[in-house]
Amino acid sequence: MMETLLSRSVRAICLGGMTLGMTAAIAQEASAPLQRVEVTGSRIRQVDLETAQPIQIMNAEQIAKSGLVTVGDVLNNLSSAGAPDFSRSGSLTSNTEAGGQYVSLRNLGANRLLVLVDGKRWTQTVAGYTDLSTIPSAMIERMEILKDGASSIYGSDAIAGVINIILKKNMQGGQLSLYTGQNEKNDGKNKDFSLTYGAGDDKASLMFGLSHTEQGVVWPGTRPRTTFSNGLAHPMAGLGAGPWGRITPVNPANGGSLNQNSPGGWNRYLNHTGDWTGNGVGADSRDPNNYHTYTGAYEDMFNSSQQMHLLSPNKLDTLFVKGEVALPKDMRLKTTAMYSQRESLRQIAGYPLQSTSQANYPVYIDKDSYYNPYGSSVAGAGMGQDLFFQRRTIELPRTTENENRTLHIDATLEGEFMVKDLAWNWSVGYNHNKVSGTAADSGNINLLNLKNALGPSFMNASGVVQCGTAAAPIALGSCTPWNILGGPSASTPDALAYVNATGTKTYGSTTNSATADLAGELFQLPAGAVGLAVGIEHREVKGSDVPDQFSQSGYSTNLSGQPTYGRYTVREAYAELNVPVLKNQPFAELLSFNVATRHSDYSNFGVTNNSKVSFMYKPVKDVLVRGTWAEGFRAPTLDDISGGGSQSFDTFLDPCDTRFGEATRDPAVAQRCASGFGGVVGTPVNYRQLMQAGTPITSAGGTQSLVAFNSGAGNEFLTPETATTKTIGFVYSPSYLPGFTVGLDWYNISIENRITAIGADYVAEECYLRGNANYCSAIGRDSVTGNINRLSRGNANLGEMETEGLDLAISYRLPRTAYGQFGIRNETSYVDKFRTRDGADSDWNNYAGLYHYNRVKSNTSVDWSLGDWSATWGFRYYSGAKDSCWSVNPAIECNMPDYKSYSYGTGANKLGSVTIHDLSVGYRTKWDARILLGINNLFDKAPRTVYESQADAAYIDVDQALDRFFYVRYTQNF
């Protein structure tokens, strides 16, 4: 483990806040013992901390100065980090990862990044994601970010890189930290409390910690630019299904769809006061004269964003214990135990309910319902007709409360010995990780009860509407009729409670691993000792994701899903060899090579072998040249292989739409759409894809599906992704300019046999754009409207992914002056290429420069300290990016109408660059405390309007900054 020397060294190379591959010249005291330490990316302990891999280090002080309270938020601000797979702005996220925090290094996805804590694998969900929010920032000494492939050292998932979070080793005394912060609009209130205490000496030590962290909710209605989902420029375009009754007769001529143009069809909406806010009162819904023809007027629609979280709240409680004891014969026993409980809540608008919300279980307003305006109780006995209905149930916003529990326990016995004056070390360890949780939801509709509530009902002798008929009544306590057409003002608490569907999903995953490692020096060469590390590991992974029985049944508007159960084991062995070739020679101050290989035997798919070769070369003392070639892999997760699948409302653009779809530009596509292709019925003339409100789409971004699609079923025949990583770079630390270091690294990561979920857009485009009839079999269309009402998608080993770019890091600690100590640091990432393709014969689709895939992302900070005072000014820069157009025809918010991309089709809107300034000021008191005041987004840079936003409530760049954020932290040592 890391020794005292490493702590001093890391502080030295982190001056200014950044390391450049841990290659800066490190001034060490002459009397300090040269101790060998293990560095992320290698199992061989070395005296020299220089490595062939680019490693960035963030220490506890940097984390505190960021003004952020969670590890996930801190890491997502790295220049090398892309848009996270899931974020607090994704209120529509329905999987078990909702509420957690994940890092997508190099935009390759959080499941291609390995997260270690003290060099050991951390917990993962059944889908292979590591929730970084479960690691409290108060317990962290530093974080090492290895931007290189490392599967030969650590195994699966280490494709984009490795994040190794080093917890505090020990401490004498205690520390109390209090933090609070909030946005300028008095929301997004964050709190953080931590208490740590430690005692002991070299023979035995013990440390424990408690922490509590909260991140507050942000509602879209608090800011004009987020009040409407499509922004201020198009406030009404994002309105959806309204909360008042919309009806049409059910008969064979129109199939129950809301189509007034079919024979005998009409489409009517209840008269009401109020507008798109849902405020108002509906007219008497039993009177057929109180309805008007529905035309999509704004007052008959609803702004669903106002019921959704823009940023969802969560809180985390953690208990942490770490101990170490010296044993006879130079052995030490080290243990760590951590328990975290995270609670998160997400809310979205009430369900856009309609008669065919679940196609396999349609529910109509019965002709004998007391509340049917065209029913027998109004039109006369035997004259009633069933009604198809639609309306959003805003009285029941849909909520999900996710309680996630993480348990980590590890124990390691290690020792050292000498063989012929050559140092060796060994360790055996056990690592237990467990994630378990429950997700309780409310606000969906119980279709079985809904059918009863909309079924036959009558007014009894007491003046109470009762289910059943006068001749065959249903007991009042067994069924509650619902005046669904009357809207929110007509709904009763009893009726809402009767149709409200509540459910609880349980999930969990457990990883148990046993390891044995041996490392040391084989023999001495003129340039130094040849180092060797070998080890074995046995790991068992099992997990489940189980919806409750009612959710599985499909009798709820909740997205039904089937349970996931999975298990696999893996046996692995690795070897690493470090060979110093030259040292202190002309034009070769240093030349060494490192090779490593890992053999992995999985119980589910078989064997994979992955190797790595790297080098370090110093032509002179001030310059280091380094490079790596590495193989990597990502094994299929339990969810990839055994996922039960679930329903999903997918946002997609129908290629057959005659305004925004590719049918408007490609005659072959238009022909397939109009005449039918691959067994799918043809679309009508001038076909338009409909939104859930029943009106045509208004932008090339498409809309959510009208019915739930089937998605995410596991594929037991999946094989691992394979990757090749190449890096080469240099670090320059001129001796004539002490404190200055610059490093530049080129990287290329190529992934084959990619495991990917097939999206609705992909299925539709394969069918119509590329004429692949196999995909057409997964599609069904409504025979009247032409809209897609059935689509199935899963996952597959599909194609390739490649990214390439440069990482630049500069740091300079200026000489101390009478005005204080100054330090400057910069970390910049440039993405030259980020592309995918679906197969060897397919064209590459390059995403670099599109929104979410910034060409340039840069972080710069200037540090100052004088006596007890300190300050940091930071600049976060995001280069301009191409976003999808609001509309190409006519061109609206579309300054590149002829641009073609795989993501957006034809047309793009180039957004300008963004620079965000952060400022913090600290003061160290005479009573051994520190006060830190800060403002993030100092100049109140407004978020950009983007139509590819991750925020489900509004089309804005929510993952950067909403407005100014003020915070204060007080830290007391005792």
Reply yes or no: is the peptide bond before residue 890 cis, omega within 30 of 0.
yes
pLDDT digits (tens, 9 = 90+) for 199-225: 999 899 999 999 999 999 999 999 998
Contact yes or no for 768/791 (Cβ under 8 A): no
Confidence (pLDDT) at 229 = 87
Contact yes or no for 966/180 (Cβ under 8 A): no
Q: Which long-range contacts (CB under 8 A, 24 or more apart) does 62-67 make?
A: 62/14, 62/17, 63/137, 63/140, 63/143, 64/932, 64/969, 64/971, 65/872, 65/920, 65/922, 65/932, 65/934, 66/918, 67/181, 67/918, 67/920, 67/934, 67/936, 67/965, 67/967
Which run of H or E residues covers position 317?
strand 314-327
Separation between Cα atoms, residue 780 and residue 614, nearest integer Å: 53
**DSSP H helices in 66-199:** 71-76, 151-154
Residue 42 clears pLDDT 50, i.e. is over it: yes
Residue holding tokens 């298990």? 567
Residue 5 clears pLDDT 80, i.e. is over it: no
Residue 27 clears pLDDT 60, i.e. is over it: no
pLDDT digits (tens, 9 = 90+) for 521-532: 999 999 999 999
Question: CA 359, 360, 361, 365: dihedral to nearest 10 degrees?
Answer: 40
Confidence (pLDDT) at 25 = 31
Separation between Cα atoms, residue 890 and residue 903, nearest integer Å: 19
Contact yes or no for 23/51 (Cβ under 8 A): yes
- DSSP one-letter code for 86: S
Confidence (pLDDT) at 558 = 85
Separation between Cα atoms, residue 597 and residue 153, nearest integer Å: 7
- Percent of the chain as helix, strand, coil, to the nearest 5: 10, 45, 40
> Residue type for 23, please?
T
Would you tell me how many other CB atoms lie within 10 Å of the CB of residue 212?
Answer: 15
Which run of H or E residues covers position 270?
strand 268-270
Would you tell me how many other CB atoms lie within 10 Å of the CB of residue 783?
Answer: 12
Q: At what angle do helices 667-675 and 760-768 cross, to 10 degrees?
A: 100
Residue 50 clears pLDDT 80, i.e. is over it: no
Ranked by mean pLDDT, the top range of 227-241, 735-749, 896-910 is 735-749
Mean pLDDT across the stretch 562-581? 95
Separation between Cα atoms, residue 819 and residue 934, nearest integer Å: 21
Mean pLDDT across the stretch 128-150? 89
Output the average pLDDT for the chain: 89
Percent of the chain with pLDDT over 90: 70
> Residue type for 910, please?
K
Confidence (pLDDT) at 9 = 34
pLDDT digits (tens, 9 = 90+) for 670-687: 999 999 999 999 999 999
Confidence (pLDDT) at 265 = 65
> Residue type for 419, please?
V
Confidence (pLDDT) at 799 = 87
Confidence band of 602 (pLDDT split at 50, 70, 90): very high
Residue 509 clears pLDDT 90, i.e. is over it: yes
Q: What is the pTM of this model?
A: 0.85
Mean pLDDT across the stretch 441-455? 96
Mean pLDDT across the stretch 818-824? 95
pLDDT digits (tens, 9 = 90+) for 603-630: 999 999 999 999 999 999 999 999 999 9
Confidence (pLDDT) at 26 = 28
Mean pLDDT across the stretch 14-39? 41
Residue 359 clears pLDDT 80, i.e. is over it: no
CA–centroid distance for 131 within its chain: 9
Residue 1 clears pLDDT 80, i.e. is over it: no
Coil, helix or strand at residue 59: strand
Confidence band of 36 (pLDDT split at 50, 70, 90): low
Would you tell me how many other CB atoms lie within 10 Å of the CB of residue 368?
Answer: 19
Confidence band of 3 (pLDDT split at 50, 70, 90): very low
Ranked by mean pLDDT, the top range of 389-403, 643-657, 941-955 is 389-403
Separation between Cα atoms, residue 638 and residue 567, nearest integer Å: 7
Mean pLDDT lowest for which of 432-436, 723-727, 759-763? 759-763
Higher pLDDT, 34 or 137: 137
Which strands form 881-883's sheet, in the order they lie side by side?
A: 881-883, 905-911, 896-901
- DSSP one-letter code for 690: B
Which run of H or E residues covers position 12?
helix 4-13
Question: What does DSSP say about strands 465-467 and 500-525: parallel, antiparallel, or unpaired?
Answer: unpaired
Mean pLDDT across the stretch 313-340? 94
HEC letters along 546-584: ECCHHHHHCCECCCCECCEEEEEEEEEEEEEEEEEEEEE
Residue holding tokens 């004429």? 771
Contact yes or no for 485/373 (Cβ under 8 A): yes
Confidence band of 30 (pLDDT split at 50, 70, 90): very low
Mean pLDDT lowest for which of 316-325, 464-473, 758-767? 758-767
Confidence (pLDDT) at 128 = 92
Confidence (pLDDT) at 838 = 81
Residue 48 clears pLDDT 70, i.e. is over it: no
Percent of the chain with pLDDT over 70: 94
Residue 66 clears pLDDT 60, i.e. is over it: yes
Residue 959 clears pLDDT 80, i.e. is over it: no
Confidence band of 251 (pLDDT split at 50, 70, 90): low
pLDDT digits (tens, 9 = 90+) for 274-314: 999 999 999 999 999 999 999 999 999 999 999 999 999 99
